[in-house]
Structure 1
Amino acid sequence: HDFGKIPYGKPVEFDVTIKNISAEPVKIENVKVGCGCTTPKYEQGKSFAPGETFKVTLGFTGYADGFFEKSVDIFFNNGLNKQIKFHGTGYKVPETPAPSNNGVQKLKSAG
């Protein structure tokens, strides 16, 4: 998944849709993230029937300026796992706004 450009410290999310292609019900046992900046949301302990689709929401809050690439591993009770990768570019937003251009206002007033 490509988040594109995201502001420093702004949380973003995307949904991963997964389909149970096995002949048996499956459960998500664990979702392993690479750092504290990534947060998974999923229905823990719920059983998904064969053919059923379900989602895992992955949240990310970047505290770095520049390109990032992360991965998340989803582990199922049947011994299978799925790796999801995502990337983007974080950028810092100025803490104080740029000074206003009073010269434009003065020209309008003078006219």
Structure 2
Amino acid sequence: MKKLAFILVAFFAVNIAMAQTADSKNGPEITFAETEHDFGDITQGDVVEHIFKFENTGTEPLILSNVQTTCGCTAPSWPREPIAPGETAELTVKFNSRGKMGRQNKVITIVSNIGENRTVKIITNVLPKESK
């Protein structure tokens, strides 16, 4: 009898733990089609732009509250309205290479209501302007 009671308690404990794990997956979730883009070689002074496409793969609306960059040479544009579950949206990132030289690695941090920040990255190699 004690053995049966122990088995039943263990069975219910496992089921409760599994239900709690399933519940913790509820909420918004951001899934990017790509998290890194390499522009290759560009010339100093060029302004380049890339669109990072993403989807709310969660169960509740996704809200991007801020998008932070590592320097003023990188400018993000993102949706300000909530993104419903299953909907896609875009994060546009512009990089101005004026005053930059060599390999550039810029991290863009996405602050949202998913509970942790996510990042995407742009990379490029800035070549000097050809003198005339």
Report the identity percentage: 34
Moved runs in structure 1, 4+ residues, more than 6 A? none
Q: Which structure 2 segments of 5+ residues have no match?
A: 1-36
Give the counterpart of 2:73 among 9, 22, 37: 37
**Counterpart in the other structure of 1:6:** 42
Instruction: Give the number of the structure whose residues are more often helix, by fraction.
Output: 2
> How high is the TM-score relative to the length of structure 1?
0.80
For the residues of structure 2 that align with 1:68 and 1:4, how far apart are their CA atoms? Answer: 10
User: Is 1:47 the counterpart of 2:92 in the alignment?
Assistant: no
> How high is the TM-score relative to the length of structure 2?
0.68
**Counterpart in the other structure of 1:61:** 96
Instruction: Give the number of the structure whose residues are more often strand, by fraction.
Output: 1
User: Is 1:83 the counterpart of 2:119 in the alignment?
Assistant: yes
User: Is 1:22 the counterpart of 2:90 in the alignment?
Assistant: no
For the residues of structure 2 that align with 1:77 and 1:51, how far apart are their CA atoms? Answer: 16
Alignment length, in residue pairs? 95
Q: Which structure 1 segments of 5+ residues have no match?
A: 98-111
Aligned letter for 2:92?
Answer: T
Cα distance, 1:15 vs. partner? Answer: 0.3
Deviations 1:8-46 (A, max 9, x none): 1211000001110110001110001000000001122x0
Q: CA RMSD in A?
A: 1.2
